[in-house]
Amino acid sequence: MSESNLAARSDGLEGQVSGARVIAQALKTQDVNYMFGIVGIPVTEIALAAQEMGIRYIGMRNEQAACYAASAVGYLTGRPGVCLVVSGPGLVHSLGGMANANMNCWPLIVIGGSSERSQETMGAFQEFPQVEACRLYSKFSARPSSIEAIPSIIEKAVRSSIYGRPGACYVDIPADFVSLQVNVSSVKYVECCMPPPISMAETSAVRMAASVIRNAKQPLVIIGKGAAYAHAEESIRKLVEQCKLPFLPTPMGKGVIRDNHPNCVAAARSRALQFADVIVLLGARLNWILHFGLPPRYQPDVKFIQVDICAEELGNNVRPAVTLLGDVNAVTKQLLEQFDKTPWQYPPESEWWKVLREKMKSNEALSKELASKKSLPMNYYTVFYHVQEQLPRDCFVVSEGANTMDIGRTVLQNYLPRHRLDAGTFGTMGVGLGFAIAAAIVAKDRNPGQRVICVEGDSAFGFSGMEVETICRYNLPIVLLVVNNNGIYQGFDKDSWKEMLKFGDATTVAPPMCLLPHSHYEHVMTAFGGKGYFVQTPEELQKSLRQSLADTTNPSLINIMIEPQGTRKAQDFHWLTRSNL
């Protein structure tokens, strides 16, 4: 018996199928395997139908977190995850996740219930111009004109989400479509869309790029998350090792080549950017994360070689020496062919390598000095060095927060591609738990036993902390570390907080960045059956992390108290480049 007939029988009407069933079958036909959301009127039946079709449904506690999770699945698997939301406010709550996916260039499908067609403009329950609203946050936004049109709309949404520069797509489902029955024979499912076509750069441009690299006095390769998404790790590693080039990963480019590779110059990031004369951008954009490619972070005459899948990205903020339009993996292989024909290596004994290694050595020594301080409360570096000692090499590291994310990135190592998830291009706070849930669900299917370490600032944790219940409900192998400084950027200790309140109400005397001191976030985890730890010393941190990693049956949260006024080591530049124009 065909799937369509099976669907019709379970709907209770021979030869009939509901809109909910058609949606679920269309998604399954397009090889969509994960759905995150919050059910309610009018989408509950869609979630039930999806489960019956074999699509994993993960019920979340907030639509934003559900959307973050679905987008992370798209990044990790290459096929979009689905975020299923109710009409009006539910859809509005998901817009943050859609915007984040679009800015990160991650594939995502949002399916939103909407008001019944017969009630449009009448003030229907949760009526909202959803298709129009989503056009600002997505690559594609549409409402099927009929049940029969759903498969083709969903195929186009999936295809649009993964072709070219990946991104978010929206499909609007009127409430009356969900339960509406149509003849099985009238629904034609569209064959699964092909994987994205692989494009290659022009041969003449590749030859020119190879020539510019050969003539570089101080070259640098920058590896972005676009390279990770393109699965370009093998070709990039070969290029770096064959040509003896220094490389610098962007935050989510970490792990494309392991962080402890001898050619990684992340510990001398500012020096590498400031003095390189030729920079090869592999799937990285010259946005705020890379300081726009402009002085004083860079030399005024630096030559950029841009490799990107998106033509519109080429030439943003700078005039590149060479542009290579195409798939990062394919283009890197083209570059390798040039160096195979005429072998070339950048001399490892050069003055440039000497400068970089000296700076790396001094920065690493300073970080270790900060980490070795015995005073309490602990500082960021002490925490992260103790965490790094115990992290499994194959774990996912999810991180968000201001200093928590930025300092953690410099200490916590990644050895595998697509194993670091953070606030990303949009700088979005609140993504952490959604990303961690997505990573854990994917790991459960692909590599059972693989751990997810989610490192949160205490402020960042507050954005989506109730997703701890989701983690416990699905018993996901996640270890949450809340690095708690009692505030946003900085806070006060307990005594200082009490002293301050003597001078007035908190609304008038407490600085806006302060949070309640010594909040016991670990109790949120224990409330739902997970393990919680409150730690104040390196010894307590080591013990609790060891126990958490050894416990494969319970998620855990470690609430780590640190110096409220703690910050990062002195920087050569402000981390967020100020405009000098």
CATH (one of 3.40.50.1100, 2.60.120.620, 3.40.50.970, 3.30.300.30) for 373-561: 3.40.50.970
Kindly provide the residue ranges of all beta strands, DSSP E only, lying in 350-499, ordered along the sequence.
396-400, 420-421, 452-457, 478-484, 487-488, 490-491
Please report how the helices 233-243 and 328-341 are oriented relative to each other, as an axis angle in degrees rounded to 10: 30
pLDDT in tens, the chain (581 residues): 344 444 444 454 579 999 999 999 999 999 999 999 999 999 999 999 999 999 999 999 999 999 999 999 999 999 999 999 999 999 999 999 999 999 999 999 999 999 988 888 878 888 899 999 999 999 999 999 999 999 999 999 999 999 999 999 999 999 999 999 999 999 999 999 999 999 999 999 999 999 999 999 999 999 999 999 999 999 999 999 999 999 999 999 999 999 999 999 999 999 999 999 999 999 999 999 999 999 999 999 999 999 999 999 999 999 999 999 999 999 999 999 999 999 999 999 999 999 999 999 999 999 999 999 999 999 999 999 999 999 999 999 999 998 999 999 999 999 999 999 999 999 999 999 999 999 999 999 999 989 999 999 999 999 999 999 999 999 999 999 999 999 999 999 999 999 999 999 999 999 999 999 999 999 999 999 999 999 999 999 999 999 999 998 899 999 999 999 876 666 655 655 553 33
Among candidate residues 135, 134, 117, 115, the one with its CA nearest the CA of residue 125: 115
* Identical topology for domains 16-186 and 203-356: yes
Domain 16-186 annotated CATH 3.40.640.10: no
Provide the Cα torsion 281, 286, 290, 293; round to 10°. 90
Count Cβ atoms below 10 Å from residue 114 Cβ, excluding itself: 26
CATH superfamily of 203-356: TPP-binding domain (3.40.50.1220)
The domain limits of the chain are 16-186, 203-356, 373-561
Q: In sequence order, which residues have a C-beta less than 8 Å from that of residue 537 and are 6 or more positions away?
A: 376, 378
Count Cβ atoms below 10 Å from residue 222 Cβ, excluding itself: 22
Q: In sequence order, which residues have a C-beta less than 8 Å from that of residue 20 and are 6 or more positions away?
A: 45, 46, 48, 49, 178, 179
Q: Which residue has the tokens 């220094």?
A: 246
The DSSP symbol for 163 reads S
Between the alpha carbon of residue 172 and those of residues 24, 58, 134, 380, 489, the distances in Å are 14, 20, 10, 45, 40
AA letter at 544: S
d(CA 245, CA 263): 7
pTM of the model: 0.94
